[in-house]
Each structure stands twice: as C-alpha cells, then as structure tokens.
Amino acid sequence: MMAIDPRQLRNACGQFGTGVTVITTHCDGHDHGMTANAFMSISLDPPLIAISIAKNAKMLTKIQRAGRFAVSVLAEGMEDLAWHFAGKPKPDLCDFFERREGLPVIADAAATFVTELADEILAGDHTIFLGRVHEMSHDLGKKPLLFFRGRFGGLADPQPAPLTLEHASYDFIW
C-alpha cells in the first residue's frame, strides 16, 4: 500500500467544496467556538448530525464535558466570523452570539442546530461526534458561505429545488 502524504491528502480533499460552520458549546461557565467544515446530516429519524473534531483541538474535551454542542451554518458575508473562530481573532467583532437552549449560536446564521451528544466515534486523529438535534432554525433567504481550495466563496444563483422530495428525480443513467 502506498504511503499517503498528509499535505497531498489535504489538497485533494480541498477539491470538495463545503459549507462553513461554527461549532459551539458552553462549558465551565464560558462559551467556546471553533470554525469547522466537517459537518453532515446523518439521520432524519432520529434527527442526528455529525461533526468531526481533531484530537488535539481544545474544543474536543469541552464538548465531551458539556455533553452538548451547537452548529451554526455561516451565511455569505460572515468570513470575519469564520476567521475569528479559526484562531485569527477579530477584536472589533462583538455580539455575534444568541442563545438557544442555553447554548451559543451565531446570530443571523443561515441555519443552526442545537444537540445533545448521542455518541462519539474515534476515527484516526479525529473524533466524530453524533448529536441528536433538539432545536434548529434556518433562513431560506440566505446563501451559505462556502470553502473551496483553502478560500471562502459564495454560491451562484441556485436552480430552484423541486417542490417536495417526492417529486425529485434520483434516477441515474450510466
């Protein structure tokens, strides 16, 4: 088996455009947050989402101790918040949190999810946290902030979605 260079793996994964989130929790009397793009929907019934946190990230133990976390999907124009929670603080940023079920979430985010920790899975140098969603919100009028090849970007005007999932076509021709 060929050895995989970590930097080349990161570059290849950077070809996959993602949304940008801020993962938050409240632990030991303080709010904590970090920028992440490792987020996904897992299950509709029960409602589960997943995040992936590096084993050396300070947020890992905070989520474990709190037993809860929230995810805020950033909207276009929130690059400063993304950088702030990625370790490049913007001192002029203030009042960016609002509270949902006692957890901090980013005000005016495109979507938010408030969860209870359902499970954690060790995966190499990361831990995958499964969260059972207790509360959520979304604003269909907002476009997401995107991340591609190490840079932030936006979404071109999207095509309209089918009215319902039942009317969507999932047939593939090979």
Convert the pLDDT of each residue in 46-81 to its tens digit: 999 999 999 999 999 999 999 999 999 999 999 999
Q: Is residue 167 in some structural domain?
A: no
How many Cα atoms are found within 13 Å in the side-chain-facing hemisphere of 126? Answer: 12
Q: Is residue 91 in some structural domain?
A: yes
Sorting pLDDT into bands at 50, 70 and 90, what band is 13? confident
Q: Is residue 12 in some structural domain?
A: no
Q: Is residue 159 in some structural domain?
A: no
Q: Is residue 75 in some structural domain?
A: yes
Residue 64 maps to which CATH number? 2.30.110.10
Q: Is residue 87 in some structural domain?
A: yes
Give me the pLDDT at residue 101, please: 94
Q: How many domains does the chain have?
A: 1
Q: Is residue 3 in some structural domain?
A: no
Q: Which domain holds residue 88?
A: 19-150
How many Cα atoms are found within 13 Å in the side-chain-facing hemisphere of 156? Answer: 1
What 8-state DSSP symbol labels residue 38?
Answer: -
- For residues 153 and 67, the model is more confident at 67
Q: Is residue 7 in some structural domain?
A: no
Sorting pLDDT into bands at 50, 70 and 90, what band is 166? low
